[in-house]
Homo-oligomer: A and B are copies of this chain.
Amino acid sequence: MTKGPATRATILDQAVDTAYAVGLGGLSIGVLATRSEMSKSGLFAHFGSKEALQLAVLEHAREDFIARVIRPALATPRGESRVRELFTGWLRVTVDRSRGSCLFVKAATELEGWDGPVREQLVRDHRDLFETVALVFSTGISEGHFAADADPEQFAHDLHGILLAVYHARGILEDPAADNRAWRAFQALLEAARP
């Protein structure tokens, strides 16, 4: 007997949870079937292959990040306040999850040296993210909040480092000062960018 139908969104939520637990590379239709108690044939009907499942999980996580972090930032006035909203949202979304570290960060260390569409998608997602951060920062240059010669790409890279450090400090070190340190690093980055 197969279980009743489940919506794609419900399945994907389970799939994302499974990816956090076993790693994106370890996520297969068989593993998801076992952990979610959904039928393997039903999951095959939804996804067709392990790779398609992994790509669907990346897409689901990406859309969640865009909805919770990118869109609220873009709805905030251009310039420094938009940059602050972006950082605030990014820091918050990783706490909400309570699944430990970012799925993309985990996947990035895991998929190093891999080839194929899942890795390519992960690289594209990171590039899109960096470009979005750089674009948000550059509204601060055109609004006169940051120096004309400040480098938006360098800012995106540095901000990413701050987030990686806070994931790490929260995750393995369980450092209660992690978020405070991230805020201080962020403030210093803004200070350095002022005209």
Q: Which residues on A are within 8 Å of B, measured CB to CB?
A: 100-101, 105-106, 108-109, 111-113, 119, 122-123, 126-127, 151, 154, 157-158, 160-162, 164-165, 167-169, 171-174, 181, 184-185, 188, 191-192
Nearest CB in chain B: distance from A175 CB, A: 9
Give which listed residue, B106, B123, B164, B172, contacts A126 with CB less than 8 A. Answer: B172
Please tell me if the beta carbons of A168 and B172 are within 8 angstroms of each other in the complex: no
Give which listed residue, B105, B154, B171, B192, contacts A192 with CB less than 8 A. Answer: B192
Nearest CB in chain B: distance from A184 CB, A: 6
A158 contacts which chain B residues (CB < 8 A)?
162, 165, 185, 188
A101, A109, A151, A188 interface centre (most CB from chain B within 10 Å): A109
| 7 interchain residue pairs of minimum CB distance | A161-B165, A164-B164, A161-B161, A108-B172, A100-B112, A112-B171, A157-B181
